[in-house]
Amino acid sequence: MTPVLTGKTVIVTGANSGVGLATAQALGGYGARVVLAVRDTAKGASAAATVPGLTEVRHLDLADLASVRRFAAAWTEPIHLLINNAGTSAPELERTADGFELHFGTNHLGPFALTNLLLPHVTGRVVSVSSQAERMGRIDFDDLNWERTRYRPSRAYATSKLANILFSTELQRRLNAAGSKVLAVTAHPGFVATNIYDGASRGTKLMLRLFAQGPEEGALPVLHAATGSVPGDSFIGPRHWMHMRGGAEPIGRSRTAQNEDVARRLWDASEKLTGVSFSL
């Protein structure tokens, strides 16, 4: 059954291309007004032209907390869905405008701040896009910013994806405690051929050609997390091929991703790093 989102406003971060754009196109097809929150507004405008219905493009750079604050400060309307889709994958150590390790800062701290700043406007769900790579992540509370640990890009990326799930878990706990009906859900798109792999190795590119699915299929778990009948703190991923391709269903997560104490500690650390706290 196709969801009906007529009259609802949704925000999709990183909606210029890939899973974000496919998600925006589907939500627009459901009747929603779609706001594409993107770093490059010219590319955003081109992407918006492919999205059915009402669209708007707004600038947002999750690697810059000042940009996050400007975006949130300018927002005054109800938000039915906030889709935290934007993310990055870098081959070497880089840092955000605020000095955070790029993966942790862009994939976790930026969405953490954005969600909490926008939360008073959210009426439906917050969907965070993660990955089964979270199973290789490790939250080192003594060195969250990779200042002493030998840097491993793949581990840094996996840790940021683990942080996405822990964020949803603690967000849902806090929403429940506040008596809110808003749901926090996480989605794993699976193995998807997108521009995040532009700098990938020859072997990875061969795997993409042989096994990856397209953005439209990758968007299915995100859409199920956003509109399906699922409880808060669900983790939704593909149904087939080790939850890497096709369809959408609830999937398992690592032991660390189920640890509520780690989720609380990460939340507290994220509040201190961003200066943004739970706003309900």
Name the residues annotated as catalytic: 157
- C-alpha dist (Å) from residue 123 to 8, 10, 44, 166, 199: 10, 10, 25, 21, 38
Per the CB < 8 A criterion, the answer to whether 86 and 95 are in contact is no
Place of tokens 């509370």: 141
Strands 235-237 vs 183-187: parallel, antiparallel or unpaired: parallel
C-alpha to C-alpha distance for 10 and 124, rounded to whole angstroms = 10
- C-alpha dist (Å) from residue 240 to 53, 69, 189, 190, 237: 32, 39, 12, 9, 9
SS3 7: coil
